[in-house]
Amino acid sequence: MTFSVDSCAGVSIVLPAKNEMAAIGETLTALRQICPEAEIIVVDDGSTDATAKIAREAGARVLSHPYPKGNGAAIKTGAGAAKGEVIVFMDADGQHDPADVPRLLARLSEGCDMVVGARQKGTQASSGRRLANALYNAAATYMTGHKIEDLTSGFRAVRADKFREFLYMLPNGFSYPTTSTMAFFRSGYTVAYVPIHAMRRKGKSHIRIVRDGLRFLLIILKIGTLFSPLKIFAPIAALIFVVSSCWYGYTFSTLGRFTNMSALLYMASIMIFLLGLISEQITVLMYKDHQHNGEKTGINASVNR
């Protein structure tokens, strides 16, 4: 069955929610009007308010965690339970406009594998968050070699079979968009962006700028080592090589000899570069095996039909 852009037939919409009773009823009502045939799943991540009750009354399929596991964990629960061939992920706090769902689906129908709602200027909560997102986008663009307009946007439409290939990689926290975007790029899948205007959320945000900002940066480095390790190791090796050359020039001009420190720095730069090169080859082999297994799974599924 091919999904429908207009009625959202064949589409599952997953909303992770934790204490979102202030906005979820209105969000679900709007979604049902715009996507009458979509499967709407609310993953209640251990809410202590009436989030789950309101979602059920609004006609959503509710999956509940007994305690808070994290935004990423809720995404994995929803993606695993979704029946549609396309999954739309969006926030339940009123930031994402349900009217944008058909726009993402229309772009996906053109042959894309993932379409991300890229938040435009003026839609972020603070200048600090805008700066942080700009840094994340720049770092990820460098590592992937592709222009990434919004790395951390949680509003996206994906082809379900391709997204599930990377469920094991997704962290339980707020950085699932980072991981999934970079994994799609690394596997050669098509990622596109649709400009959106995010609204101010209703209720209290669960994101802590400093804590989760540091986590995002660590995730970028972690995924960078999986995506293209040489882009991390090579600049470090080059920097150490330059430092060692400068030190050697200084000691040779003042002492007239090659010092042990120069030798140590040169060896360190070479070892770091070789480590990056080996890691790059391991990454290539890992994704080659991953894609081969994915093709085998697709073939087996076709045979079993």
Residue with tokens 């919409």: 13
Indicate the Cα dihedral angle 8, 183, 193, 189, nearest 10°: -70
Would you state the pLDDT for residue 292? Answer: 47
Reduce the DSSP state of residue 304 to 3 states and report it. helix
Q: CB of 93 within 8 A of CB of 201?
A: yes
Answer CATH for 11-227 from 3.90.550.10, 3.40.50.300, 3.90.1150.10, 3.40.920.10:
3.90.550.10
Confidence of residue 304 (pLDDT cuts 50, 70, 90): very low
Would you state the pLDDT for residue 212? Answer: 59
Residue ranges in 109-159 assigned as alpha helix (H): 127-144
C-alpha angle 78-219-192 in degrees, rounded to nearest 5: 60
**pLDDT digits 0-9 by tens, 2-34:** 788 988 999 999 999 999 998 899 999 999 999
Q: CB of 80 within 8 A of CB of 167?
A: yes
Would you state the pLDDT for residue 303? Answer: 30
> In which order are the strands placed within the sheet that holds 114-119?
61-65, 39-45, 11-17, 86-89, 156-159, 114-119, 191-196
| Beta pairing class for 156-159 and 86-89 | antiparallel
Q: How far is CA 192 from CA 100, 136, 146, 281, in A?
A: 15, 17, 11, 28
Q: Calculate mean pLDDT across residues 146-165.
A: 92
Q: CB of 95 within 8 A of CB of 27?
A: no
Would you state the pLDDT for residue 289? Answer: 53
Closest to 270 (Cα-Cα) out of 247, 229, 230, 241: 241
Would you state the pLDDT for residue 178? Answer: 85
Q: Which residues of 51-84 are buried (b: 16+ CB within 10 A; e: fewer)?
A: bbebbeebebbbbebeebbbbbbbbbbbbeebeb
Q: Calculate mean pLDDT across residues 280-292.
A: 65
Would you state the pLDDT for residue 302? Answer: 34
**pLDDT digits 0-9 by tens, 225-259:** 767 788 888 999 999 999 999 999 988 888 888 88
Would you state the pLDDT for residue 126? Answer: 56
Q: CB of 110 within 8 A of CB of 159?
A: no
Q: Which residues contact 223 (CB under 8 A, 6 or more apart)?
A: 143, 178, 179, 182, 183
Would you state the pLDDT for residue 172? Answer: 85
- Measured distance CA(97)–CA(198) in Å, rounded: 7
**pLDDT digits 0-9 by tens, 102-140:** 999 999 999 999 999 998 876 555 566 677 778 778 888
Would you state the pLDDT for residue 78? Answer: 96
68/287: higher pLDDT: 68
Would you state the pLDDT for residue 159? Answer: 97
The residues pairing with 41 across neighbouring beta strands, listed in sequence order, are: 14, 61
Would you state the pLDDT for residue 223? Answer: 65
Would you state the pLDDT for residue 104? Answer: 96
**pLDDT digits 0-9 by tens, 161-216:** 999 998 988 888 767 888 898 889 888 899 999 999 887 655 555 555 556 567 66
Confidence of residue 264 (pLDDT cuts 50, 70, 90): very high
Q: Is the pLDDT of residue 47 over 80?
A: yes
